[in-house]
Amino acid sequence: MKQNITNKMDQCSIIERNYTTKSGSTVIKRYQKRKFLGKGSFSRCYEIYDPDKQKLLAGKVIDKASLDKNEAKEKLLNEVRIHQLMSHPNIVRFEEYFEDSSKAYLLIELCSNNSLKAMIKQRHKLKEIEAQYFLVQLVYAVKYIHSQNVIHRDLKLENLFLSNDMQLKVGDFGLATKLSFAEEKKRSVCGTPKYMAPEVIASKARGYTLIADIWSIGVILYTMLLGETPFESDNIERTYRRISIGMYSYPKDSNISPEAKNLISQILKIYPSKRISLEDILNHSFVTKTAIPQRLPEAALESSISYDQLTFDEKESIEYEEQIIEMEAKTPENSTPTKVSDEIYTNKHLTSFNTISKKIPLINKKALKKEEQIPYKEQRLETDSMTYIKHYKDYTKNYGIGYLLTNGVIGFYFNDMTSLALFNKEQYAYYDLYSSAGISYVKKETMGKKDKILDQFKSHCKRIGESNNILDSEEVLVRQVTKTKDGILFQLSNDVVQMVFLDGAQLIFNLKIKLLIHIDKLGAKRKMTITNALNSDKTLTQSFKCALNLLDYLNTNTELLILQCTKRRNLMIQEVSN
């Protein structure tokens, strides 16, 4: 009886692969299944020994019964197809894929030092020089992945493995997708929530590109340095809201460098067009300020190491760099369309404007000095031609804000941060706050429910006697709307800013031409230059500075622009998509 049990165990530890040679003969190749490493959603992972090559591999063993649906089988084959494309020193090497009657086997390079997740769990957090070391390797790997027009979509600590010589290896292409071209947008919401980019969360309405992976790199860098992810909460919806507005902070006792904070802030931009590129990450001062070690000792897996334990070998550095260059030379140049902005945004816990206004200094008066002003007369612009909002209706509980401009244009600013304006009967002007494309033009019939919502507001304007006869003037729409305790601030595409206070008073101004219109709560209107406004009565001056301070804050903290909108984002996306 004991002998039979032993024989069964021996049989279970052998994996056989049958294949046919070119000559037509059948060959059986045997592998030894050894130590259990872990399990995934549909697979169990083992050490696999290849006697022919005399080396250990890692093997995903998938029960084919779990692939009973065609969709599940196709996902597995998609992972295999994509992983087979990869050949890079910082990507887990693909070995073989085969099936037998009951199981599928995916054999890959064995990373004997586990994962970065296990290292962080043991150490809690890493030193900056260690984070630099892993970050550079991760960026090189992702550059290569993107050069293949592939989005990984699940970059996280658990999928960053460590080889026996402590080199980082990106693995698990189970959620990866191959693009037809570099700028193609995907719309499937997938990934690990706390690592997902804002555009992935809103992907059903917007779509996302290769740039979504860069956001995940920022989350990984933050986690390496602080031991926790930046947006995680006890509720997944709250996590999504924090990601959508870029709301994260640093613990009071954190001592990470200004360069690290700066790089994190440049990666974790909620707008993909403003997110730093992979190449610029490699050139950032956080990466270049010190020499990067060529390897870490295995002791770093367990505890903090001293600087003299690091290896800086010039020859190895040159060889590694040459290896990277050789691999990248085999593929097209990375075409990720990102360009780092000169702006540096600070992600903070967001508060109401009453709190904000106490923290922000008043606007720099140098900008308003008389000698720096552009004389208003030289603009050859009549004050009445400054287009602004004549009437608006707030539907933000469900949809957004409808508006009628003084030039007769009707438009709608939606909760998903897009804006439509009806310039003629055939097409809309369309603006997306997340996109760098600017104003584009779309046919009415392509807008679906948004078209119907705008028609409802148009009917409302007719009922109250407001005309929407479009005048022959500039084409203008509302680009951004911010609601605060003090009122609503509108930013228009013609550089006009309009602040509507709770008591009904309004300030409308254009800083480029130094013109301001004040409408009091009774509707009386005054036109003046900004200089005259500052020399006017105290109430007007305070109101103007209040609006100007808010505008100044928004220009350097764009995350606040979507604070109110984000609360209803997911609902709006679902409604508009139907």
Q: For the chain, which residues make up each domain, given as ranges?
A: 2-109, 116-329, 361-577
Instruction: Classify residue 364 by its DSSP letter.
Output: -
pLDDT of 180 > 80? The answer is yes
Report the catalytic residues. Answer: 154
Helix or strand run (H / E) with residue 63: strand 55-63
| pLDDT band for position 10 (cuts 50, 70, 90) | very low
pLDDT value of residue 374: 30
Whole-angstrom Cα distance, residue 216 to residue 235? 19
pLDDT value of residue 509: 86
State the helix-helix crossing angle for 569-577 and 449-463, rounded to 10 degrees: 100
CA-wise closest residue to 85 among 205, 194, 192, 179: 179
Structural tokens at position 314:
């010039």
pLDDT value of residue 361: 30
Instruction: Classify residue 573 by its DSSP letter.
Output: H
Instruction: Classify residue 7 by its DSSP letter.
Output: H
pLDDT value of residue 347: 28
Torsion of CA 452, 392, 412, 199, to 10 degrees: -130
Q: What is the CATH code for 2-109?
A: 3.30.200.20
Whole-angstrom Cα distance, residue 213 to residue 220? 11
Whole-angstrom Cα distance, residue 543 to residue 547? 6
Structural tokens at position 19:
């294949």
Whole-angstrom Cα distance, residue 432 to residue 564? 16
177 near 223, Cβ under 8 Å? no
Q: What is the mean pLDDT of residues 365-389?
A: 44
Q: Is 3.30.1120.30 the CATH classification of the domain at 361-577?
A: yes
Q: What is the mean pLDDT of residues 91-111?
A: 92
272 near 197, Cβ under 8 Å? yes
Over residues 249-272, the pLDDT tens digits come to 999 888 899 999 999 999 999 999
Sorted by sequence, the CB contacts under 8 Å of residue 377 that are 6+ apart come out as none
Whole-angstrom Cα distance, residue 505 to residue 230? 40
| pLDDT band for position 364 (cuts 50, 70, 90) | very low
Query: Which residue type does 242 have?
Result: R
- Could you give the strand order of the β-sheet that contains 410-414, starting from the edge strand earlier in sequence? 389-395, 400-405, 410-414, 418-422, 427-432, 440-443
Whole-angstrom Cα distance, residue 161 to residue 58? 12
Whole-angstrom Cα distance, residue 555 to residue 559? 10
Q: What is the mean pLDDT of residues 352-380?
A: 31
Residue with structure tokens 């802030």? 265
| pLDDT band for position 123 (cuts 50, 70, 90) | very high
pLDDT value of residue 135: 97
| pLDDT band for position 550 (cuts 50, 70, 90) | low
Whole-angstrom Cα distance, residue 481 to residue 240? 21
Residue 89 CB neighbours (<10 A): 18
pLDDT value of residue 337: 30
The beta strand positions in 40-113, using DSSP E, are 43-50, 55-63, 94-99, 103-109
pLDDT value of residue 395: 87
Least confident of 66-75, 218-227, 299-308, 554-563: 554-563
What percentage of the chain has pLDDT greater than the value 70?
76
Over residues 185-212, the pLDDT tens digits come to 999 999 999 999 999 998 777 789 999 9
Over residues 430-486, the pLDDT tens digits come to 887 766 567 888 887 778 888 889 988 988 888 888 766 666 556 889 988 888 777
Whole-angstrom Cα distance, residue 66 to residue 59? 17
Q: Which CATH superfamily is domain 116-329 in?
A: Transferase(Phosphotransferase) domain 1 (1.10.510.10)
pLDDT of 144 > 80? The answer is yes
Which DSSP string do the residues of 213-282 spell out, in sequence order? HHHHHHHHHHHHHHSS-SS--SSHHHHHHHHHTT-----TT----HHHHHHHHHH--SSGGGSPPHHHHH
CA-wise closest residue to 116 among 74, 172, 68, 71: 172
Mean residue pLDDT across the chain: 78
More confident residue, 547 or 506: 506
